[in-house]
Each structure stands twice: as structure tokens, then as C-alpha cells.
Amino acid sequence: MKERAFAVELKIPDNEAYTAMRALQRLGVEVARVQRADILVFNREESDERLGEIIERDERLFNPNKHRLERLLDMHPRAGEVWIEMLDAPRSAPLRRLVGWRLFDHAGNPLGDADLDAACARLLCNPAIERAIR
């Protein structure tokens, strides 16, 4: 079975991302924009279309009124992006839920590795319970 990932992102103002940005700025991280998404990683037989339907039907995962859904072609975070996963989440579950954070600098570019590391260590990831996937 091949793992497939989907990103569910708010299309209305994301107050959590906004709060994260302000907190990171307070911590001295040079960040100008923060995007947040629920990353849903499937380890199931169904086709991509079918998985998309499963997400769209489940109100706890997706609400067309406030979310947009994207099938991720890459199973890894992009530049400037980190995925946070609970350490005790079973790795083999048919659906794993992670949180994706994507940070941008003042020039609109994805944040560099050093700054992203700092953002993870100081706020985005609690290593007692979470791992940061880069």
C-alpha cells in the first residue's frame, strides 16, 4: 500500500496561524507569514478519488464552508515547512493526522532551515510528546 497525503487548510482567516506568527515574532523568529494545515496521511487501499470523498464526507475532517482540500503529491514537507506528529500516534494507522506549519520570511520566501529549527524548538514542537518531520 502506498501512503497518500492530503492537506486540509482553512480558507477563512486562520486565527491559530496568526497567533503562532505573533508568538514566533515575540520569540525573535523572523517570520512574516504562517500557514497551517491538517495533514492527513492515509495508508489504505482506496483510490485517491475515494480518499478525497472520505475526507469530504467527514465533518470532523473537512467542511467545504471553511476548508480547502489539496492532495499532496509529495509525502514530505516542502521548504519552510514542518509537519508535527504525536510521538504516541501509531505509525501504521490507516489515517494519521499531523499538523503542517509553513513559515515565510519578509520577502515572501519559505523560511530558512536555521530559523525553522528555532521555530520548532521554541514553539511548534514539544519534544516530550511530538516529533517534527522536516
Partner 1 sequence: MRNSSSNCRRGPSLPDLAVAELDDEALRARADSLGLALRVDELRSIAERLGRAPSLVELYAFDAQWSEHCSYKSSRALLGRLPTSGPDVVLGPAEDAGILHLGEHEGERYGIVIAHESHNHPSQVVPFEGAATGIGGIVRDVLCMGAEVVAVADPLRFGNVDPANEHQRAVARGVVDGIAAYGNAIGVPNIAGDCYFDRDFDDNVLVNVVALGLVKESEVIHSRVPRHGADFVLLLVGKATDASGFGGASFSSVALDAQEAQSNKGAVQVPDPFLKNVIMRASYRVFSVLRERGVEVGFKDLGAGGIMGCSAELCSAGGFGAEIDLDTVNVAVDRLLPEVIAVGETQERLLWALPEEIVDEVERIYNEEFSLPQVAQNARAVRIGRATAEQKYRLRHRGELVMDVPIDFLTGTVRDTLPAEAPVPPTMRREREILCEGTLDDLFHEILAHRDVCSRAPLYRHYDAVVRGRTVIPRGEADAGVLAPIRGSRLAFALSVGGNPRIGRIDPQRAAELAVYESARKVVAVGGEPIGLTDCLNYGSPRDPRQYGELVAGVDGLARAARGFGLAYVSGNVSLYNAAANGHAIPASPIVACVGRLADVSRCVTPPLKEVGSHLYLIGETQRALGGSVLASILGLADEAAPEIDMERVVSEHRFILAAAREGLLQSARAISNGGLLVTLAEMSFGCVAARRAPIGIELDGSVGWSSVGRNESLFGEWGGIVVEVARGDTERFEALAESLESVREIGTTTAEPLLAFEDEAWEIADLQRSWSRPLEELFP
Partner 2 sequence: MKARVAVLVFPGTNSEEETRDLLIDCGADARIVHWSEAASLVYYDAFVLPGGFAYEDRIRAGAIAAHDAMLDAVIEGAQAGKYIMGICNGAQILLEAGLAPGTGDIRRPTAAFTHNAQGHFICERVLLRRTVAATRCAIAAALPENLLIPAWAAHGEGRLAAVPSHLEEIENGDFIVFRYADVTGATDAHFAPQGSALGAAALTNREGNVLAIMPHPERDAWNFNHLDRSEGNDPLAPSGGSVLFKSFVTALERR
**Cα 94 from Cα 2, distance rounded (Å):** 11
64 in contact with partner 1 (CB under 8 A): yes
63 in contact with partner 1 (CB under 8 A): yes
- Among 3, 45, 58, 113, which residue sits at the site for partner 1 (rule: CB under 8 A)? 58
121 in contact with partner 2 (CB under 8 A): yes
Nearer to partner 1, 21 or 41 (CB): 21
Please report, as residue ranges, which positions from 3 to 22 form the binding site for partner 1 (by CB under 8 A).
Answer: 12-13, 15, 18, 22
Residues 98, 104, 108, 112: what is their CA dihedral angle, to the nearest 10 degrees?
A: -110
Phi and psi (nearest 5°) for 96? -110, 140
- Among 29, 55, 82, 124, which residue sits at the site for partner 2 (rule: CB under 8 A)? 124
**Taking CB within 5 to 8 Å according to partner kind, which of partner 1, partner 2, none is near residue 58?**
partner 1
CB of 118 to partner 2, least distance (A): 12
Mention every residue, 6+ apart, whose C-beta is less than 8 A from residue 132: 82, 83, 84, 120, 124, 125
26 in contact with partner 1 (CB under 8 A): no
- Among 61, 86, 95, 133, which residue sits at the site for partner 2 (rule: CB under 8 A)? 86
Cβ atoms of 12 and 68 within 8 Å: the answer is no
Cβ atoms of 3 and 48 within 8 Å: the answer is no
